[in-house]
């Protein structure tokens, strides 16, 4: 079997970095284990999913690398990850909108009557308190 393995696989095979769980091949590296992925379509999907998060936006290079390495492993992961991130960042820069920048914030005129202009926001993550153990507060500001 060793004679059939290519360079990146051979050294890891000799170092006992591969193991099977429920028929899936995993790769062990330092203190983590990740699923071994060979299919190019899956690699592309993993890179996309780990580089962009719908509720957090585009991840930094460090965070993308961290997410990919905790999820999957494949030969030449480092090179493909760098290539993907560089391509993605160039694409982002090339597709920026070419419109005028927004102006500075403007002062809101003081209303003549109370409760004409209000701002509301939730303050969350407070230490629970009171009988009800509330941990958030609605703040209302009358301009």
Q: Which of 47-51, 57-61, 96-100 has the lowest mean pLDDT?
A: 96-100
Residues 74, 81: Cα–Cα separation, whole Å: 11
- Interior CA angle at 76 toward 50 and 63, to 5°? 25
Between 1.10.340, 3.40.50, 1.10.3470, 2.20.25, what CATH number should domain 2-94 receive? 1.10.340
pLDDT of residue 3: 45
User: How sure is the predictor about 138, in pLDDT bands with cuts at 50, 70 and 90?
Assistant: very high
Query: The pTM is what?
Result: 0.45
Q: Give me the residue spans of the domains in the chain.
A: 2-94
Residues 36, 76: Cα–Cα separation, whole Å: 12
Q: Which residues contact 38 (CB under 8 A, 6 or more apart)?
A: 74
Q: Environment class of residue 72 by beta-carbon count within 10 Å: exposed (0-12), middle (13-18) or buried (19+)?
A: buried
């Amino acid at each position: 079997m060793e004679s059939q393995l290519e360079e990146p696989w051979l050294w890891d095979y000799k170092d006992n970095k591969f193991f099977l769980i429920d028929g899936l091949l995993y790769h062990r590296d330092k203190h983590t284990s990740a699923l071994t992925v060979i299919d190019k379509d899956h690699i592309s999907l993993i890179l996309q999913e780990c580089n962009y998060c719908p509720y957090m936006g585009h991840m930094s290079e460090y965070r993308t690398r961290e997410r990919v390495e905790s999820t999957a492993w494949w030969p030449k992961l480092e090179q493909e990850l760098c290539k993907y991130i560089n391509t993605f960042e160039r694409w982002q820069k090339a597709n920026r909108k070419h419109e005028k920048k927004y102006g500075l914030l403007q002062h809101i005129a003081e209303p003549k009557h109370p409760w004409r202009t209000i701002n509301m926001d939730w303050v969350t993550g407070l230490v629970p308190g009171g009988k009800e153990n509330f941990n958030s507060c609605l703040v209302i500001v009358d301009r």
